[in-house]
Structure 1
Amino acid sequence: MTITLATRRRIASTALELPVFGFGSAHLGELYGKVDEAHSRATLDAAWDAGVRYYDTAPWYGRGLSEHRLGGFLRTMDRGSFQITTKVGRTLHRPKDPSNFDRSPWVGGLNFEVNFDYSYDGIMRSYEQALQRLALDTVDALVIHDLDAGFHLDKQAGYEKQLVGGGIKALEELKKSGDIQAYGMGINNNAALENTATLVDLDFCLVAMPYTLLDQASLHAGMATCQKRGISVIIGAPFASGILVTGSSGPAHYAYGTASPEIQAKVRGIEAVCAAHKVALPAAALQFVLAHPIVASVIPGAARPEEVVQNIASLQAAIPAAFWSDLKAQGLIDSQAPVPGAGN
Structure 2
Amino acid sequence: MSARSFDKRPVGRTDLTVTTLGLGGASLAGNYNAVPADEARALVRHATDLGINYVDTAPHYGFGRSEHLVGDVLREKREGVVLSTKVGRLLRPVHGQDWPRDEWIDPLPFREVYDYSYDGVMRSFEDSLQRLGLEKIDMLYVHDIGVVTHGVEGNKPLWQQLAGGGYKALRELRDAGLVNAIGLGVNEWQVLMDAFALGDWDVFLLAGRYTLLEQTSLTPFLSTCVERGASVVVGGPFNSGILAGGDRFDYARAPEAVVAKVRALAAVCREFDVPLPAAALQFPLAHPAVCTVLPGPRSSEELDGILAWWDVTIPDGLWAALMDKGLLAEGTPIAG
Q: TM-score range by the shorter chain?
A: over 0.9
List aligned pairs for 1:89-168, cutoff 5 A: 89-96=88-95, 98-153=96-151, 154-168=153-167
* TM-score where L is the length of structure 2: 0.94
Q: Please, which runs of 5 or more residues in structure 2 have no aligned partner? A: none
Change (3 A) 1:316 1:198: farther
List aligned pairs for 1:199-278, cutoff 5 A: 199-246=198-245, 250=246, 252-278=247-273
Task: Give the percent of matched residue pairs that are identical in Structure 1 and Structure 2.
Answer: 41
The equivalent of 1:294 in structure 2 is: 289
Shift of 1:295: 0.4
The equivalent of 2:183 in structure 1 is: 184
Q: How big is each residue's C-alpha offset from its partner over 1:153-209, in whole Å with a ceiling of 9 and x where there is no partner? A: 223111111111111111111111111111011121233233345433211111102
* TM-score where L is the length of structure 1: 0.92
Q: Which 4+ residue blocks in structure 1 deviate beyond 6 angstroms?
A: none
The one-letter code of the counterpart of 1:301 is: G
Tell me, what secondary structure is at the counterpart of 1:81? coil
Shift of 1:216: 0.7
Shift of 1:38: 2.8
Shift of 1:90: 0.9
Contact 2:29 2:40 in 1 (8 A): no
Contact 1:283 1:314 in 2 (8 A): yes
Contact 1:210 1:216 in 2 (8 A): yes
The one-letter code of the counterpart of 2:228 is: R
Shift of 1:230: 2.0
The equivalent of 2:57 in structure 1 is: 57
The one-letter code of the counterpart of 1:193 is: L
Contact 2:6 2:19 in 1 (8 A): yes
Number of equivalences = 332
- For 1:196 and 1:260, the matched residues in 2 are separated by 30
Contact 1:46 1:309 in 2 (8 A): no
With 284-293 and 104-113 compared, the bigger mean Cα shift is at 104-113
Contact 2:320 2:334 in 1 (8 A): no
Contact 1:5 1:19 in 2 (8 A): no
Contact 1:23 1:47 in 2 (8 A): yes
The equivalent of 1:71 in structure 2 is: 71
With 47-56 and 259-268 compared, the bigger mean Cα shift is at 47-56
CA RMSD of aligned residues (A): 1.5
- For 1:48 and 1:174, the matched residues in 2 are separated by 26
Contact 1:5 1:20 in 2 (8 A): no
Contact 2:56 2:83 in 1 (8 A): yes
Q: How big is each residue's C-alpha offset from its partner over 1:11-59, in whole Å with a ceiling of 9 and x where there is no partner? A: 2212222221110010012112111123213322321232222100000
